[in-house]
Structure 1
Amino acid sequence: MLKLKDIQTPIAQELELFEGRFKESMRSNVPLLNRITQYLIKQKGKQMRPMFVFLSAGVCGTINDSTYRGASLVELLHTASLVHDDVVDNANARRGFFSINALWKNKVAVLVGDYLLSKGLLLSVTHEEHNLLKIVSEAVEQMSEGELLQIEKARKLDIEEHIYFEIIRKKTASLIASCCACGASSVGASAEDTQLMQSFGEKVGIAFQIKDDLFDFGLDDVGKPVGNDIKEKKMTLPLIYALRNTPTSEKRRIINLVRNHSENKEKVAEVIAFVRSSGGMEYATERMMQYQQEAFDILKSFPDNRYKAALEQLVRFTTERKK
């Protein structure tokens, strides 16, 4: 089983240095802001986004100061989006910690998110990293569109497979794509290679989201509550496939369970059992591995080095991870 810490080995020093620079990029003269940003730093996850930035840079050239700024920019804008998401979702926790809005209320959380966005913009403009700013800003635009598209479709529960892929391409894959494009651009890669790395990241991001969707149907014993997507009335690939291949009367019954009984544990378990018995898990896994292979095919066009080998392992980790 792949372990993330083993994949990090080629860029261990870079990640350690990045942590210090990222903390500095969030610094403020306002004590309250510093307390909140320090609290946010404690919640750091797997550092997969900075890993994608540094490894992509290493594949395309020599990691430099611009690479660190690209990684910080991605993290600043992503962290801002998470803070705002928690306000929108009225979420009280994230990664086992209380959310900012739970501790300091919505008004403070919104302002902190705005502050982080501004720090990302200033970091880019001050150092004239306009290419990096363009890449990440486009990703934030895509993420917002993806969220709104999902909200619109969730009301009707009429998502078809091509709409599902459009949602996750925008909502999830665009961010990983921007990480890989930032890494390439930061080391002076050609426009063609930068685009290739962006496409590579998009494929990985789609595979990553499908893996998350599979967790929700009990693929593994993970922290995410089984059936959480159903409770939130989200139509994910395993369910979309299962509904597409079932008689109309049964389809209506399952949709009714999702629409009107998503808070009932027994009804949610019934939907999960339906998906598992209808081939939804197998189909979603097949599509996930298809996107992983497409990502590997793109990487073949780059010369071999230790960063490329680690990036390949990171791709495998996205589909083999247990949480």
Structure 2
Amino acid sequence: MSKLREIQRPIVHELEAFEKKFKASMKSSVPLLDRITQYLIKRKGKQMRPMFVFFSAGICNGINESTYRGAALVELLHTASLVHDDVVDNAYERRGFFSINALWKNKIAVLVGDFLLSRGLLLSVKHQDYHLLKIVSEAVEQMSEGELLQIEKARKLDIEESIYFEVIRKKTASLIASCCACGAASSNADQGTVNKLHQFGEKIGIAFQIKDDLFDFGLDDVGKPLGNDIKEKKITLPLIYALHQVTASEKRRIINLVKNHNEDAQKVAEVIDFVRKSGGLAYATNKMLEYQQDAFRILEDFPDSEYKAGLEQLVKYTTERKK
């Protein structure tokens, strides 16, 4: 976490002010809602999304009040989507904490997600930040499409690489892209610059997801293979590549293991070993680094500053983090 704090240094005061503003944006007159939103605030993650918003505004025309609202809008809509996702996935834990649906049941969780969504919309409408609302709403649309595309394709368990990239571009990268575009737009950057930073965020989002997929082929704290994606029958880039390196019969055998033996620890370990020996991890790592370099090239168009350096460090963090 110390590495992330070092990256945050140029915007540490902005992030502290943002936390107060974000907390205020979730305030409600309903005691139950207040208890739940306070619980959500305590579970906050690494502030990656606000960091992208503030750094992107910084390398354009500077951070202002609209930037804070843009960061809050992203966080409100993203938090709403996570609350709803946990209901859809029947997930009872997120980042080591109980999910909202685990503590307060599905009906309340859905309503809380709706409340957060409406708060984000009203925040933008109240201040006439329609350009920011458009950027983030398009990202939420993409995220929903990505989830549904993944569900549709997962039934066959034989996904092409192009489909995988389309899924993660929509499902993961669209949100980080919207953070960067929001930051630029909040500082009144021209549309070309907004588009450029949107592309930058998309590259980072894709690299971030590939890194997550690579983690799944590592080992847990006691040295056992992770394989959570395999257990959930998710076909990711390392496995997609590996499946294209073997005969049709071997491919069918591995897909059968994922489809019908995904809860057998020994079979999951066998799939992980297959991916490693087939070069899947090396291939995915190279792809991730390609997207990293694409992001660096986009930043070359911006003048040097502490904000640009911060974004460059965030790019490195997404591909070099240990978890």
TM-score, L = length of structure 2: 0.98
For 1:220 and 1:136, the matched residues in 2 are separated by: 35
* 2:142–2:171 Cα contact (<8 Å) kept: yes
* 1:221–1:322 Cα contact (<8 Å) kept: no
For the residue of structure 2 that corresponds to 1:8, the secondary structure is: helix
Give 1:51 shift: 0.2
Aligned to 2:287: 287
Give 1:62 shift: 1.2
Task: Single out whichever of 212-221 and 52-61 deviates more from structure 2.
Answer: 212-221
- Stretches of structure 1 lacking an aligned partner (at least 5 in a row): none
Are residue 69 (structure 1) and residue 47 (structure 2) matched?
no
For the residue of structure 2 that corresponds to 1:86, the secondary structure is: helix
1:225 and 1:99, CA in 2 relative to 1: closer, same or farther beyond 3 A? farther
For 2:56 and 2:157, the matched residues in 1 are separated by: 38
Aligned to 1:4: 4
For 1:120 and 1:12, the matched residues in 2 are separated by: 23
Are residue 182 (structure 1) and residue 182 (structure 2) matched?
yes
Aligned to 1:26: 26
* 1:52–1:180 Cα contact (<8 Å) kept: yes
Aligned to 1:255: 255
Give 1:119 shift: 0.1
Give 1:61 shift: 1.3
For 1:20 and 1:322, the matched residues in 2 are separated by: 30
* 1:239–1:275 Cα contact (<8 Å) kept: yes
* 2:225–2:269 Cα contact (<8 Å) kept: no
For 1:2 and 1:216, the matched residues in 2 are separated by: 24
Q: Kindly report which structure 2 residues correspond to 1:213-292, keeping only aligned pairs within 5 A, or say none.
A: 213-218=213-218, 226-292=226-292
For 1:193 and 1:6, the matched residues in 2 are separated by: 27
* 1:178–1:201 Cα contact (<8 Å) kept: yes
Aligned to 2:105: 105
4+ long deviations beyond 3 Å:
219-225
For the residue of structure 1 that corresponds to 2:59, the secondary structure is: helix
Q: Kindly report which structure 2 residues correspond to 1:294-305, keeping only aligned pairs within 5 A, or say none.
A: 294-305=294-305
For the residue of structure 2 that corresponds to 1:156, the secondary structure is: coil
Give 1:208 shift: 0.1
1:223 and 1:155, CA in 2 relative to 1: closer, same or farther beyond 3 A? farther
Identity score, percent: 77
For 1:224 and 1:212, the matched residues in 2 are separated by: 17
For the residue of structure 1 that corresponds to 2:322, the secondary structure is: coil
More relative contact order, 1 or 2 (CA 8 Å, 6+ apart): 1
- Stretches of structure 2 lacking an aligned partner (at least 5 in a row): none
Give RMSD over aligned pairs: 1.6
Aligned to 1:127: 127
Residue identity matched to 1:43: R
For the residue of structure 2 that corresponds to 1:233, the secondary structure is: coil
Give 1:225 shift: 7.7
TM-score, L = length of structure 1: 0.98
Aligned to 2:153: 153
Residue identity matched to 1:33: L
